[in-house]
Structure 1
Amino acid sequence: MNNIYIVPMTILSLIKSRAPATGQKYSQLESLFRQAIREGTLQPGEKLPPLRDAAWQAGCSLGTMSRVYAALERRGMVTAEVGRGTFVREEASIGADIILPRPSSSRKSDSNLADIGVIDLAMNAITNEEGEDLLRWALRRTADKASSLTLMTYRDGYGTAAQKLAMRAFLPACLQQVGEERLLINHGAQNGIFTALNRLTSPGDTICLEPLCYPGVSAALSQAGLSSVIVECDDRGIDPVDFERLCQAGRLRLLVTTPTGHNPTCITTPLERRLQIGEIAKKYDVLVIEDDIYGFLYPDAPPPYAALFPDNAIYLTGLAKRLTPSLRIGVSVASPQITMLMAQGITAQSWMVSPVLAVAASELALRHDSLQKMIDASLVQADEREKLTRAELADKVVSLKFCRSHAWLKLPDSCNVDLFVKQAELAGVLVTSGQRFSSRTGSGNQHIRLSIMAPRKTETLVIALSKLGAILTTPTLNSVEYF
């Protein structure tokens, strides 16, 4: 009897046999790799082939394959190690946590993190003492005031004129006089980004991203099946020269940016630079999507793009940071045509934004004094927490930048970031690796974001900072050796 040898399938042979011959190779190759990881062709801990080898087998450019690897890294499916290559993550770390990773402790149980002694500096929340009471007040008012028409009927994606006008209270002063035809109530800034990407693009369009950006943008891009290019940035934000180069080079449809209190780099783009970027976008018919979820903490920030270039910009904000993430509601400002298209997108996704939430938000908008009091308290608290963080960590890191919601740390080259994150979790502190914000391989690799406004008590932040400082002082020790 002849022996029959079955040649095991490898990722290279899979690429060679299934790589698309035509069309958008990037998205198809990404799907092929994701399937290989989920089906076990690529095992946890296995090293991906060199980019050049994979590109050769796929018949694509080195740049296309590099984007595929970067997309897998953003999804948390692989990890790139300088000088060693790219490896499939362990199975326990691959899941639905494509925006921010879940701590191992919360994977094992549903216990509240505070109950198990964990201090969460990973999720960028902004604590406030009066928010819960204010929310309960608004919900009671809604229950008492909402009509049967509100409670018991369908609406469409447009929302009512009265509710949209009320939501202007959550906009910067320079946008508070816009007409209701430019306003749209949505399910929050993340939903606004997702709706814009899905409703305002066509096959073949390209989206422009900053090298480091909120991971929810990359997640929305992936869901929409859109490709992206990365614009260079400096300490004032987007580089206008590079942005114009990208506009000239391809079919660029949207620019997604956070010019005020940028997450994670803490940059606020000055007015002069915003005018330059806006003029270039207008020249090449590129829409600017501005995520201004932290803008309320920067009353002196330059005007948003939607005020400077009303026909070429979409302004997005919400109540998640200002009041509570549980109130999934936000507002956008754009031209009437774009607002109409996005309203159709809301209808297609969920038919309508919950009228109950819209009434609650409208009631909250009337509490201007209380809302302003919370903002003022947050600004004072942000200054205090910046001083504490600087005092504990400034001499232990390469650089330390601050927003009014978070800090952006560059760790010494001798410190392995992945190990630091694991040591911090062992010590009871959750932090976010800069790689989670990377739109391209290599950006933010030596950085950590700390959400210094998340703990309810300043004393809790002090404990967390002291633990992180100890880890940075003795980076080679396991956390359990000194805690």
Structure 2
Amino acid sequence: MSVEKNIVPDTIFALYARQPEGPKYRMLSAALRQGVAEARLPPGTQLPPVRDLAWRLGMTPGTVARAYTLLTDEDLLTAEVGRGTFVSGQAEQRPPLYITRPWREGPDGTEMVNLFTARLPDLGQIDLINDSFRRLAARSDRALLDYPTAAAFAPARQAVVDWLTAVPLGVVHHEDVVLSHGAQSGISLVMQAVLRGRRPVVMVEELAYPGFRRAAELLRADIVSVPMDEHGIVPSALEEIARKHEGQILCTSPELNNPTAIVTPSERRRDIAEVARRCAFDILEDDCTFLGETRAESYRALLPEQGWFVSSISKTLTPALRIGFAIAPQGKRQTLRRVAENGFFGLARPLAHLAHDLLIRDETREIVRSVRRRNAVYVRATVNALGGYDLGWHQHSPFAWLRLPQGWRSAAFCLAAEGQGVQVRPAEDFAPRTGFAPHAIRIGMNAQIALPDFEAALARLRCLLDNRPEQEMMA
């Protein structure tokens, strides 16, 4: 190779060595971007072949090809068939799709805007919880030396019943309630109470909260996904699957599907309940994510002897305390209670007292209303920024579901978003492991960051959507 041809790979090598640690393709793309910006790689410069540069930098050809592709998508490079890859001569470049930054996460130097999950703002919860702890500490309770008992937890269970007064659950007595360590614990308790046999079958929505599948896997159950349409589970498909696989329980979130934000209307719920009656399976309803007023009857009301209900305070007040509750259908309270007692004896007494104190206070309900209002502000910002695309949302949802335009795959988009300093969650996390995942992402309403910062993160996502990789190829 001539001296002139050595100049370009040597320049790239020097730039690459100066980049902060991170994924190699990002370090290389940042080095090339810097070389162009500093005119060390002027327009028209031919870059080394992929294999040659990979050997020079000690990485795989696929890594180099990935970096080249990213910068080609930005119009920083051009690829000419039969000739090679060149630095673009265009005067104006498309906004960068990927930004390499120090790859750090944590309290110190965190660079990412976390939209991977919803985060609650502090609208008085911290002071309220601390006050409840002080009230708890002031109690003179000799029972702190005893194991939990059902009788001792009666006030806390009644507080749960009163807390859920607006939810159409049918007839509920406090003895139908079991306190759990968050909703995930409640889901596991219900499955243990229902499932029987060596390989029981759990049916879930084809796009569903992944905790359903995790709980089923722990119990060595087979998991079968049920097709959905714009209204939720398709009743005819559910009946076919239930009969074919002898499904024992259906796990669903009809009030607000996680992740799609689909709300199952009343008529569809009644059709699904009729399928459950005919096929004799139970329904576990997870009601954790919906922040508004309940609109339709729960499956516990529609199926008094087959409907289980699980909820928590994680999305409305705080996820830190891990306070949840499971409610058994008629005739099943002893089974549910026995599972809890045999599994962990029951919630710790102080935590049960804390749950009681929080749920009966008027201040708590006012804070929940404030959380609901604040969440709606962030939802509106999301719709304003991304509503031109295929966006699933609800004003009382802590997340939005974005179906990506042609040219983007969810994994690639999530990587691109991270490059822009924004973390989002891919559809694959909600789909069955062996099933098809749509090209979509879930965006969490992170109300712990200021609204302008949240809007700026959405603007970066919008830039990615507006400049998708295959745009020119499809034109």
**TM exceeding 0.5:** yes
Specify which of 120, 124, 134 is matched with residue 130 of structure 1. 124
CA shift for structure 1 position 153 = 1.5
Question: How much is the aligned-residue C-alpha RMSD, in angstroms?
Answer: 2.6
Q: Distance in 1 between matches of 2:151 and 2:282?
A: 21
Question: Structure 1 residues 118, 146: CA separation in 2 closer, same or farther (over 3 Å shift)?
Answer: farther
Given the alignment of the two structures, is residue 152 of structure 1 paired with residue 145 of structure 2, yes or no?
A: yes
**Counterpart of 1:262?**
257
Specify which of 393, 396, 406 is matched with residue 401 of structure 1. 393
1:145 match: secondary structure? coil
CA shift for structure 1 position 461 = 1.1
Q: Distance in 2 between matches of 1:200 and 1:106?
A: 49
Given the alignment of the two structures, is residue 247 of structure 1 paired with residue 277 of structure 2, yes or no?
A: no
Q: Distance in 1 between matches of 2:140 and 2:456?
A: 45
1:378 match: secondary structure? helix
**Counterpart of 1:235?**
230
1:380 match: secondary structure? helix
Given the alignment of the two structures, is residue 192 of structure 1 paired with residue 186 of structure 2, yes or no?
A: yes
Q: Distance in 1 between matches of 2:236 and 2:392?
A: 27
- Please give the TM-score of this superposition, normalised by the length of structure 1: 0.71
Q: Which amino acid aligns with 1:262?
A: N
Q: How does 1:317-328 map to 2 (within 5 A)?
A: 317-328=311-322
Q: Which amino acid aligns with 2:222?
A: S
2:138 match: secondary structure? helix
CA shift for structure 1 position 424 = 1.5
Question: Structure 1 residues 232, 415: CA separation in 2 closer, same or farther (over 3 Å shift)?
Answer: same
Deviation by residue 1:197-227 (Cα, 9 ceiling, x = unmatched) = 2332122321111000011111112111100
Preserved CA contact (<8 Å) 1:206 1:254: yes
**Counterpart of 1:414?**
407
Q: Which amino acid aligns with 1:132?
A: I
Given the alignment of the two structures, is residue 210 of structure 1 paired with residue 205 of structure 2, yes or no?
A: yes
Specify which of 293, 296, 299 is matched with residue 299 of structure 1. 293
Q: Distance in 2 between matches of 1:201 and 1:210?
A: 18
CA shift for structure 1 position 244 = 1.5
Q: Distance in 2 between matches of 1:146 and 1:239?
A: 54
**Counterpart of 2:326?**
332
**Counterpart of 1:178?**
172
Question: Structure 1 residues 271, 400: CA separation in 2 closer, same or farther (over 3 Å shift)?
Answer: closer
Q: Distance in 1 between matches of 2:139 and 2:298?
A: 34
Preserved CA contact (<8 Å) 1:207 1:229: yes
Question: Structure 1 residues 186, 401: CA separation in 2 closer, same or farther (over 3 Å shift)?
Answer: same
**Counterpart of 1:377?**
370
Question: Structure 1 residues 146, 344: CA separation in 2 closer, same or farther (over 3 Å shift)?
Answer: farther
Given the alignment of the two structures, is residue 224 of structure 1 paired with residue 207 of structure 2, yes or no?
A: no
Gaps in structure 2 of 5+ consecutive residues? 1-100, 471-475
Preserved CA contact (<8 Å) 1:310 1:334: no
Q: Distance in 2 between matches of 1:199 and 1:337?
A: 12
Preserved CA contact (<8 Å) 1:255 1:287: yes
CA shift for structure 1 position 338 = 2.6
Preserved CA contact (<8 Å) 1:168 1:175: no
Specify which of 280, 289, 293 is matched with residue 284 of structure 2. 289
Q: Distance in 1 between matches of 2:140 and 2:403?
A: 50
Preserved CA contact (<8 Å) 2:310 2:325: yes
Q: Which amino acid aligns with 1:320?
A: S
Preserved CA contact (<8 Å) 2:157 2:175: no
Given the alignment of the two structures, is residue 387 of structure 1 paired with residue 383 of structure 2, yes or no?
A: no
**Counterpart of 1:365?**
359
Preserved CA contact (<8 Å) 1:158 1:185: no
Q: Which amino acid aligns with 1:379?
A: R
Identity across the alignment (%) = 26
Q: Distance in 2 between matches of 1:269 and 1:159?
A: 38
Deviation by residue 1:295-329 (Cα, 9 ceiling, x = unmatched) = 4x231410211122221111001111111111111
Q: Which amino acid aligns with 2:370?
A: A
CA shift for structure 1 position 282 = 2.1
Given the alignment of the two structures, is residue 438 of structure 1 paired with residue 406 of structure 2, yes or no?
A: no
Q: Distance in 1 between matches of 2:387 and 2:422?
A: 18
Q: Which amino acid aligns with 1:407?
A: A
Q: Distance in 2 between matches of 1:148 and 1:106?
A: 53
Q: Distance in 1 between matches of 2:173 and 2:259?
A: 33
Q: Which amino acid aligns with 2:300?
A: A
**Counterpart of 1:311?**
305
Deviation by residue 1:16-54 (Cα, 9 ceiling, x = unmatched) = xxxxxxxxxxxxxxxxxxxxxxxxxxxxxxxxxxxxxxx
Q: Which amino acid aligns with 1:467?
A: R
Moved over 6 A (4+): 105-109
Aligned length: 368
Q: How does 1:49-128 map to 2 (within 5 A)?
A: 111-112=106-107, 115-128=109-122
1:116 match: secondary structure? coil
Preserved CA contact (<8 Å) 1:266 1:401: yes
Q: Distance in 1 between matches of 2:361 and 2:170?
A: 16
1:420 match: secondary structure? helix
CA shift for structure 1 position 359 = 0.5
Q: Which amino acid aligns with 2:257?
A: H
**Counterpart of 2:133?**
139
- Pick which of 153-162 and 332-341 moved more: 153-162
Preserved CA contact (<8 Å) 1:379 1:404: no
Q: Which amino acid aligns with 1:178?
A: V
Q: How does 1:457-472 map to 2 (within 5 A)?
A: 457-472=450-465
Q: Which amino acid aligns with 1:439?
A: P
Question: Structure 1 residues 393, 158: CA separation in 2 closer, same or farther (over 3 Å shift)?
Answer: farther
Given the alignment of the two structures, is residue 347 of structure 1 paired with residue 341 of structure 2, yes or no?
A: yes
Q: Distance in 1 between matches of 2:271 and 2:322?
A: 34
**Counterpart of 2:49?**
none
Deviation by residue 1:91-115 (Cα, 9 ceiling, x = unmatched) = xxxxxxxxxxxxxx99976x228x5
Q: Distance in 2 between matches of 1:291 and 1:158?
A: 26
Question: Structure 1 residues 146, 336: CA separation in 2 closer, same or farther (over 3 Å shift)?
Answer: farther
Q: Which amino acid aligns with 1:339?
A: R
Question: Structure 1 residues 333, 316: CA separation in 2 closer, same or farther (over 3 Å shift)?
Answer: same
Question: Structure 1 residues 107, 195: CA separation in 2 closer, same or farther (over 3 Å shift)?
Answer: farther
Preserved CA contact (<8 Å) 2:161 2:173: no
